[in-house]
Structure 1
């Protein structure tokens, strides 16, 4: 009985000892695993390079039509015909609307009859004047009556012609503002007409830049409707005076607009290109971390057999597309972390992901 009890105790002791040893080994393995340094994070880098940038003078302005009017009528009348559609492209001289002219044409017939009668009187009296059968003064009076009749006919024809409203220049029409049968007083707006190719951009720059401006200078324009597109033009006119309120000089540039992407009234960002190019250091925007304490980047450097990422503060400048000018803090040829900097800390070891690794990871 005692022997059997000792045997059970020995078996239990062996079992407990085995479990304790197994748990101890497992804990030691986990400790060893967590005590190992984590693998270095992978990053992509870019090399700081020099780029020739053309300096610019930046401003904002508005797009203006090279010609733009509200077409109106010179004489009063009732709308008899409308011969255009809203938004249509028209040519100079194209008929847009006609006003009723029946009364004017009837009056014209009477005036033409009076002109013919005056012509007959002049011809008859001219023959009598040769024979001295009529006084010179009477002949002059009859001749003046003929001139007056001709002037009245010419005036009435001009009035009738003005009752046919035509496009004063090539362009695109706006929204129709009249209706058939409507009576139009003189000067009533009929439709807006804009010549959209080319167009102007009007903007202003501080007076200190006046000496750097000249006609023919290239400008680049961006609009909110198509922010990725750059429209190029040239300065056509510079105001001879300075605005007393703002001390700015007004500038007008001309832009080609064959696809009519630029419309009058659009807000425009204007960059006036200066003739002298400057050499600057540049980095992609994504390589820079922006915050209220200053802009920073992670510079990659080799130390022994390790590659470390060092945080460095920089001063950034102008922006061109995705590139930013670096004014100080970096040198040509230094490597900067382009992506993956969010997971980095000061002097942390990193593994650089080259293009082949990036392609494999993307696949």
Structure 2
């Protein structure tokens, strides 16, 4: 009994031991495989990270190189060359004058009764400026009128009697003489009354007033200065060698430091036919077309008489020009590179220069940053400017007055 029970209890222990052994082997194999996969994955990730790092390093190196080149490029401002007209002219200094300038005086003596205008006023021809006391003049005018009418009635009877041969020819001529004298006295009285009103002789501007209400004036006393509006001129003295070049009607241009950024049109109005032997110059009168908007008599002006014009030519800003001794150059931008071009200068003025060199339309000319720049240097454009439009109208070759 005892042996039987012992035998039954020891039989099942063999399968359980086998199961434990198999489970242990399986766990060991699973752990080994898992460890191997992890190492391969880590190796793969490390390889990918290394490749990415190398690529980033290359890109960074290329970016740093481009940035370095950008930093090394010289910053400049440019303007596009444009086509336009430019002229050659003679330049002179002068002052603005007026063709018609008069002093206004009274024709009769009298006390000033009223003044209707002030200095600086514009007046029309015939406007009353001043009136004088005219009581005496009115009385004389009425007296002369009454006397004239009486003599005219008396002469009608005298003429009828003379036709009938009732009076002598001498008596008739005496009466006719008296009548003519009365008519003259009447005209003189009327004129004296009219002259108590001082009027503007022409349209213009009063530049000074020297009369006061209540003052007594006499013939010859100046009351006003009057100038004409539409006849302003500038007189210049041109060297005699230009006598065959300057012609009546030629275009002229006028500018003044007193009125900035404005150019006034003019024309050659008159040319003196003689040369002054002392100065070797001849007088040219330039007419101005301002009509009292901006210019005033006495203003200092620069007068330019245009003698030739180049049309539809290449113009570049004057500030683009670089001087190297007697030579002049400009820098033109092409593919971020500055190309130095020697300038063949035509006409020029204070704003632009005519470029007769090989500079094309709309060429990008450097106007700021070109000083000290080398040929084929790399540049970086930071701003673009248009060529000044006013430059297309007035240029300048040298012409002195001597």
- Tell me the TM-score range normalised by the shorter chain: 0.7 to 0.9
Q: Distance in 1 between matches of 2:75 and 2:150?
A: 104
TM-score, L = length of structure 2: 0.67
Counterpart residue number, 2:19? none
Shift in alpha-carbon separation, 1:295–1:79, aligned structure 2, 3 A: farther
* Alpha-carbon shift at residue 294 of structure 1 (Å): 5.0
* Alpha-carbon shift at residue 108 of structure 1 (Å): 2.5
Matched, 1:324 2:357: no
Matched, 1:178 2:211: yes
Shift in alpha-carbon separation, 1:46–1:125, aligned structure 2, 3 A: closer
Matched, 1:250 2:279: no
Q: Which stretch shows the higher mean deviation, 49-58 or 136-145?
A: 49-58
Counterpart among 367, 370, 381 of residue 338 in structure 1 = 367
What SS class does the counterpart of residue 353 from structure 1 fall into?
strand
Counterpart among 148, 160, 164 of residue 131 in structure 1 = 164
Q: Distance in 2 between matches of 1:241 and 1:289?
A: 44
Q: Deviations over 1:247-274 (max 9, x none)?
A: 2222223222246211112222111122
Matched, 1:207 2:240: yes
Q: How many residues align?
A: 314
What SS class does the counterpart of residue 244 from structure 2 fall into?
helix
Q: Distance in 1 between matches of 2:175 and 2:338?
A: 110
Shift in alpha-carbon separation, 1:215–1:180, aligned structure 2, 3 A: same
Counterpart residue number, 2:377? 349
Gaps of 5+ in 1: 1-35, 357-363
Q: Deviations over 1:106-144 (max 9, x none)?
A: 223333333233223322221221232211011101101
What SS class does the counterpart of residue 98 from structure 2 fall into?
strand
Q: Deviations over 1:141-162 (max 9, x none)?
A: 1101110111111012112211
Is the 8 Å Cα contact of residues 203 and 229 (structure 2) preserved in structure 1?
Answer: no
Counterpart residue number, 2:133? 100
What SS class does the counterpart of residue 108 from structure 1 fall into?
helix
Counterpart among 162, 187, 198 of residue 165 in structure 1 = 198
TM-score, L = length of structure 1: 0.74
Matched, 1:67 2:100: yes
RMSD: 3.3
Shift in alpha-carbon separation, 1:112–1:336, aligned structure 2, 3 A: closer
Q: Distance in 2 between matches of 1:298 and 1:209?
A: 33
Counterpart residue number, 2:21? none
| Larger Rg, first or second structure (1 or 2) | 2
Counterpart residue number, 1:5? none
Q: Deviations over 1:202-225 (max 9, x none)?
A: 222112212222222211111222
Q: Distance in 1 between matches of 2:216 and 2:353?
A: 62
Correspondence 1:1-363 to 2 at 5 A: 39-45=72-78, 52-258=85-291, 260-275=293-308, 277=310, 282-289=315-322, 294=326, 297=329, 299=331, 307=337, 319-325=348-354, 331-333=358-360, 337-342=366-371, 344=372, 349-353=377-381
